[in-house]
């Protein structure tokens, strides 16, 4: 209870205080750039610039982005994402998508692509898991990053100097590897067998950004996916034992925890091997559970999608947000889920506040 109260106070101060140190808690870290790799949790506009699929996705048009931006930016929400709040907390501009031709990349770049996977597309295809959205997996994003650094650095030493005060976010990535596998009929045993490979690819990605010159790296884990309307709808059952105390699907949350445990062990091992960088696990799972607690306390809707249609969870996989006739709730700030898959701006704001509170001291920032 004391911890939840402290976090609630922190959230209030983070969101509303005019004091510079509180309003920009990460400013103490003196980050001058942020680089993001990942999927739809973080994409600020790369997928919609991938022709022809991206330009025709729902994320490229309203109601996506309507709460803050009043037009679609490619963010898979009604407004800001966690990376937006992290950038604001660091006192930096919002992170532009790398694929935007006119983007100012002076303070970093966002390489994340909605729908992307940790494992390369062909590797997944060999396991009979198809990515219907994009081929821009983690290895592709890292290639973009390498090209970007080649364009702004004279040599490796110059890059090391330029990136000394940069924050790198490697993920969340890997969630879609499992999402596609689940909806394409893979068993839980098959899913668990994928985990070591997904984790290995993420760890190799961390090593790669450190080789570029990264000194502070956050590696987020997966959400409790059994709490998302897309899964709660697909696997809805009358068997009460299938649900936990949060009315989330136990088996799927157990799997998400398994992935996160394997990822944390790999990060710990990497920390022991590498002395010239700080590598931190980003606990999205517990950040989401804190969001659940806080949402219930304030009477927010913790189950239904704001933008959706049909059923207990206001979600239909065949008629998702952005489709004709699919409505939007009148008060998205009182909903956790935006479209059944992604969170609302309010949800991301609360999660980012928890995350910043959780990682701040681990980043070794000094007053």
pLDDT attached to residue 5: 52
pLDDT band at residue 365 under the 50/70/90 scheme: confident
CATH code reported for the domain at 23-363: 3.40.50.1110
The distance in angstroms from the start CA to the end CA of the chain is 28
Counting Cβ atoms within 10 Å, is residue 126 exposed (0-12), middle (13-18) or buried (19+)? exposed
Lowest mean pLDDT among 54-58, 180-184, 217-221, 239-243: 54-58
User: CA separation (Å) from 174 to 123, 130, 227, 367?
Assistant: 13, 14, 17, 35
- Per-residue pLDDT tens over the stretch 255-281: 999 999 999 999 999 999 999 999 999
pLDDT attached to residue 11: 55
Assess whether pLDDT exceeds 50 at residue 24.
yes
pLDDT attached to residue 7: 55
pLDDT band at residue 52 under the 50/70/90 scheme: confident
Whose CA is closest to 353, among 2, 1, 22, 19? Answer: 22
Domain ranges of the chain: 23-363
Helix, strand, coil share of the chain (percent; to 5): 45, 10, 40
- Per-residue pLDDT tens over the stretch 94-127: 999 999 999 999 999 999 999 999 999 999 999 9
Catalytic amino acids? 40, 339, 342
C-alpha–C-alpha distance, residues 129 and 138, integer Å: 16
pLDDT attached to residue 367: 57
Lowest mean pLDDT among 45-59, 130-144, 176-190: 45-59
Model pTM score: 0.94
Residue-by-residue DSSP string for 317-328: TTS-TTSTT-EE
Residue 27 φ then ψ, to 5°: -65, -25
User: CA separation (Å) from 19 to 14, 350, 352?
Assistant: 9, 19, 19
pLDDT band at residue 339 under the 50/70/90 scheme: very high
pLDDT band at residue 51 under the 50/70/90 scheme: confident
């Amino acid at each position: 209870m004391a911890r939840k109260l402290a976090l609630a106070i922190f959230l209030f101060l983070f969101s509303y205080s005019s004091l510079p140190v509180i309003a920009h808690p990460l400013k103490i870290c003196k980050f001058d750039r942020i680089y993001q790799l990942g999927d739809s949790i973080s994409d600020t506009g790369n997928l919609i610039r991938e022709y022809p699929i991206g330009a025709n996705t729902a994320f490229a048009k309203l109601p996506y982005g309507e709460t803050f931006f009043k037009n679609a930016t490619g963010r898979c929400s009604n407004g800001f994402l966690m990376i937006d709040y992290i950038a604001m907390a660091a006192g930096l501009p919002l992170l532009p998508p790398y694929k935007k031709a006119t983007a100012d990349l002076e303070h970093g770049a966002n390489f994340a692509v909605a729908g992307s996977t940790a494992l390369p597309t062909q590797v997944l295809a060999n396991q009979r898991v198809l990515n219907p959205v994009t081929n821009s997996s983690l290895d592709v994003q890292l290639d973009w990053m390498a090209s970007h650094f080649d364009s702004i650095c004279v040599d490796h030493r110059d890059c090391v100097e330029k990136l000394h005060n940069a924050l790198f976010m490697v993920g969340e990535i890997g969630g879609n590897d499992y999402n596609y596998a689940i909806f394409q009929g893979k068993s839980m045993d098959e899913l668990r067998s994928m985990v070591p490979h997904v984790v290995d690819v993420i760890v190799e990605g961390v090593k790669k950004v450190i080789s570029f010159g990264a000194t502070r790296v956050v590696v987020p884990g997966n959400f409790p996916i059994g709490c998302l309307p897309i899964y709660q709808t697909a696997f809805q059952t009358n068997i009460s034992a299938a649900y936990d105390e949060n009315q989330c699907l136990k088996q799927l949350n157990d799997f998400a925890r398994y992935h996160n445990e394997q990822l944390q062990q790999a990060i710990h091992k990497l920390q022991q091997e590498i002395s010239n960088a700080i590598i931190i696990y980003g606990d999205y799972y517990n950040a989401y559970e804190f969001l659940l607690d806080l949402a219930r306390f304030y009477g927010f809707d913790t189950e239904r999608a704001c933008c959706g249609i049909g059923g207990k969870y206001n979600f239909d996989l065949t008629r998702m947000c952005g489709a004709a006739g699919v409505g939007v709730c009148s008060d998205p700030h009182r909903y956790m889920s935006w479209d059944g898959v992604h969170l609302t701006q309010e949800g991301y704001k609360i999660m980012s506040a928890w995350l910043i509170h959780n990682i701040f001291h681990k980043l070794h920032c000094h007053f």
